[in-house]
Structure 1
């Protein structure tokens, strides 16, 4: 009898050890597929190099939506483009900016998004600096002087070297002097603009109405060669951004009385009313088809570069995760959706529209994972104010390979995100939505909304790691026997002792630039 008892004990211990040491074949296959058959480089090339930037309302945005649907269908994933609004249609053409006096030099620059073009012609005119006048009355008297001129409305930066370069090579005294001078100049320029009676949005319009030939600006991103490229406010004359180095050249020449003259050819086409879409892909659930796991990334970009790290990398992470899941986990328990949202850059419009249009999905979201802040590997995951997020996110993360999981700082319950990216649209509606936040790779300086956000800035090893993470988390969320809790934290008091409130669900802008 003792021998039988001993044998049973040994068998039980063996089974227990096998159970604890057993690896999940789906997780193993996710890692294997992502590592041995990655499609990331191909997807990035087709999206960033071939299609290019994806400004809302542009033909390239529509082309990207159609491309994504075709890709998903090629992987046997159901996909569609779901209309949510309309936008001012605009297509960028060639920008060519040359200094033609006091000497000839081609300048680095481009027109801003939605800038009027020059009608197929080259406009040549003197460049003048926004003057420092006593007040708005004096500015109104000066305004006729702007007629027929290109007007510079940005401060001339005192240094084209980023701070980290100064800190590596500068003396303590020279660094302190540079920063003091820069602070003083920044304040003085802000006062110069304020005294006109206008601001950064309304000043270009006032100059346009006064007959200026165009607006010249430079929005330096505080890194070598990087400028941020946003949208124009003018309706008739071009607004161009010129690189710090060339902007400084023009500024110094104008300031010293050498009156620079530039020629600008800016081609742009107004294309009428453009339809706006979200691209939605679906792997249907087998046991709980009306509960949803969502992979999320915004599809649009600014168009100074090609939108590679904002948010091409998030886009291809979620596309690759869906491709892998369809191959190794084709019959999920819950429905797995992917959302490629439009017009995030103008206020989370695509995702806000989805939340507003699909309450039946939002109320049954098991979890949403969003990736949006660059090419880096994920290093932060917070609970977004959901009290029990530590439980389910912790369990799902435990299945992730150690080399991917180890760098991730988890903070629970955290606080609900009120903006920043599309996960916030769902958090506001009470759905458990989380940001897969990435390592910086100088994102804020060099690629976020800049002319340098291009394919070559992608770090594919990190992006591959993120695709594995997203796929495993989606798989685990789908398989979890329990539905996730939506219990929220009690919001803390603010600085005035007033209880905080959960972020409010906001309505999307559905007619951009048309009203």
Structure 2
């Protein structure tokens, strides 16, 4: 019989201790004495799952949840009402404010040399054309030797739409080339693309601007609008972020339509487009975290936190970033309320706002609630797609294996058998909301999911929609997280928070634990 082995490398000070255990040894006692609460969790999560209904309500009805938009407000209100319908007290807690913006229709049409409606949308916080469809010629950025040449050219943008993204030599993703192209053809394409990237980057260095600062300069010079195409290197996927203009529209269009305009412009055809955007600037509006709690019976002032961010970008409906984390954590709370309504510790659900602009909601929560932060047993965070959890890192806490390993043992083997763990691991520096708690010394863990093409297909793209969800994997995550939360809530005492000594950096400096960072409590765009 082949026994899989979990190897734990333990760093404590300068000592190195290696502990080897086998899955058979770990699971033996659990198999002999099945936990009735775990059995009930599995039954409720599988036989009475609400994930599909919740996904429909959040993703199809509410839709995308950009900070500062009515969609985000609707999501906060929906989450509170949903928790309350399950008998779980919930509220929206304001942590700041943001520039309010409401999306309107976008029309982007090529009018010359032929008529064609282009696939694209206005970027978040893009200014409106105020009810008009504004037509103008499309131009590309020339090569500039220096900033003086750029300044000399700049008046030429007046009344024009400027293409500001690099022209892509192919619209086929690399995996498609790898499958069908000859090796030498694939190599030539990559070489050509690398040359274009270098030339494009050199152009910005020559003029002393970045891709983020260029739109503002073009706007000041009288450009009619900014046209970009942030291809995600996957069929049909573009990343949709925020506008960098204050008065003229900024739109992102598909790779194929962007390439069409670029080739026409470069070949002297002087293409024209007509753009209409009808968004609304709403002034500053409040930003909220949605907080729900299942109150503890023995240690009500000690906490287990279920963490996910509720906000999203606006390219799709925010399905996998982070609708999936939100839906799973809400479902975990529902399941626990149904089968284990009286935990020893309080189980708190934090659905954070403005994560996409720098973990603002969770950073504010950590600073605004020191009593909770001081007595949080553990934080479990979901925020990287629709796949089942495949990795858990000990986040740099020396004793993480002792408690997290024990809690994992309680989950069904079918759920945990493919999960890889790293202990003590390293602290997360800022990729998602668990990092806000790690910085404060709270044992917080990212439950990292299988990719399902996350970073190219759905992460911040126009394809991040309901149809990409894998509900079987989400149910696995609900069961896993519910078991971890249950065990953490029932633990006899608060766990040891000792932090590992971090290794030296490549430049010889001693590694430092991530520092607590201030949130942005007011903002515009990014």
| TM-score category (smaller protein) | over 0.9
Output aligned runs, 1:213-228, within 5 Å. 213-228=224-239
Q: CA deviation at 1:32?
A: 0.4
Output aligned runs, 1:62-461, within 5 Å. 62-461=73-472
Q: CA deviation at 1:196?
A: 2.5
TM, length-normalised to structure 2: 0.94
Residue number in structure 1 paired with 2:501: 490
For residues 198 and 509 of structure 1, the distance between their equivalents in structure 2, rounded to whole angstroms, comes to: 25
Moved over 6 A (4+): 17-20
2:232 alignment partner, SS class: strand
2:105 alignment partner, SS class: strand
Evaluate the alpha carbon distance shift between residue 501 and residue 509 of structure 1 in structure 2; reply closer, same or farther with a 3 A threshold: same
> Are residues 1:479 and 2:517 paired?
no
TM, length-normalised to structure 1: 0.96
For residues 382 and 46 of structure 1, the distance between their equivalents in structure 2, rounded to whole angstroms, comes to: 32
Q: CA deviation at 1:132?
A: 1.1
Show structure 1 runs of 5+ residues with no match: 1-16
Show structure 2 runs of 5+ residues with no match: 1-27
Q: CA deviation at 1:134?
A: 2.1
For residues 513 and 205 of structure 1, the distance between their equivalents in structure 2, rounded to whole angstroms, comes to: 14
Q: CA deviation at 1:263?
A: 0.6
Residue number in structure 2 paired with 1:10: none
Superposed CA deviations along residues 435-487 of structure 1, whole A, max 9, x for unmatched, are 00000000000000000000000000001110111111000001111321100
Evaluate the alpha carbon distance shift between residue 342 and residue 20 of structure 1 in structure 2; reply closer, same or farther with a 3 A threshold: closer
Evaluate the alpha carbon distance shift between residue 178 and residue 20 of structure 1 in structure 2; reply closer, same or farther with a 3 A threshold: closer
For residues 431 and 339 of structure 2, the distance between their equivalents in structure 1, rounded to whole angstroms, comes to: 33
Q: CA deviation at 1:20?
A: 6.4
Superposed CA deviations along residues 129-173 of structure 1, whole A, max 9, x for unmatched, are 011122111111111110000000111100000000000000011
Evaluate the alpha carbon distance shift between residue 63 and residue 459 of structure 1 in structure 2; reply closer, same or farther with a 3 A threshold: same
Q: CA deviation at 1:18?
A: 11
1:200 alignment partner, SS class: coil
Residue number in structure 1 paired with 2:523: 512
Evaluate the alpha carbon distance shift between residue 98 and residue 19 of structure 1 in structure 2; reply closer, same or farther with a 3 A threshold: closer
For residues 332 and 58 of structure 2, the distance between their equivalents in structure 1, rounded to whole angstroms, comes to: 16
Superposed CA deviations along residues 253-274 of structure 1, whole A, max 9, x for unmatched, are 0011111100111111001111
Contact 2:304 2:376 in 1 (8 A): yes
1:512 alignment partner, SS class: coil
Q: CA deviation at 1:81?
A: 0.3
For residues 453 and 227 of structure 1, the distance between their equivalents in structure 2, rounded to whole angstroms, comes to: 10
Q: What RMSD over aligned residues (CA atoms) do the two structures have, in Å? A: 1.3
Evaluate the alpha carbon distance shift between residue 35 and residue 245 of structure 1 in structure 2; reply closer, same or farther with a 3 A threshold: same
Evaluate the alpha carbon distance shift between residue 75 and residue 496 of structure 1 in structure 2; reply closer, same or farther with a 3 A threshold: same
